[in-house]
């Protein structure tokens, strides 16, 4: 994939714009931080720009857990993110095995 092409850069810009809007809504409390688990599940997979944006979810979870007294909610979000990672890994492995055999 040519990461220098204009169309790729435009798609990445649009993607990050959508993610940033979603994260601003989480930061403002319009969207529950519970929905941030979807983004956390892709941390480390979609590039450094995405990872930098997703740190907003971590910051909100830290604030909710430490200052808001919502430790159970933090555990719930992190658990859901881990479950999604495992589900993605399982789906990927299933696809690889089905192509090989």
Ranges of each domain in the chain: 6-100
Asked whether the whole model's pTM tops 0.75, one would answer no
Say what the pLDDT of residue 1 is.
Answer: 57
* Mean pLDDT for all residues in the chain: 85
Mean pLDDT of 32-43: 89
How far apart CA 26 and CA 35 sit, in angstroms, is 8
Q: Which tokens go with 13? A: 């810009």
CA distances from 68 to 5, 60, 61, 74, 80 (A): 44, 10, 9, 10, 20
Say what the pLDDT of residue 8 is.
Answer: 80
Q: Write out pLDDT tens, residues 18-29.
A: 999 999 998 898
CA distances from 23 to 35, 44, 46, 60 (A): 10, 17, 16, 10
Question: Is the confidence at residue 49, as pLDDT, over 70?
Answer: yes
Say what the pLDDT of residue 97 is.
Answer: 72
């Amino acid at each position: 994939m040519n990461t220098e092409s204009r169309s790729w850069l435009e798609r990445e810009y649009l993607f990050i714009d959508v993610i940033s809007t979603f994260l601003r809504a989480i930061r403002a409390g319009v969207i529950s931080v519970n929905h941030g688990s979807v983004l956390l599940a892709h941390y480390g997979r979609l590039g450094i720009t995405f990872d930098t944006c997703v740190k907003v979810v971590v910051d909100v979870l830290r604030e909710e857990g430490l200052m808001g007294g919502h430790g159970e909610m933090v555990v719930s979000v992190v658990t859901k993110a881990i479950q999604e990672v495992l589900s993605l890994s399982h789906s990927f492995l299933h696809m690889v095995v089905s192509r090989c055999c």
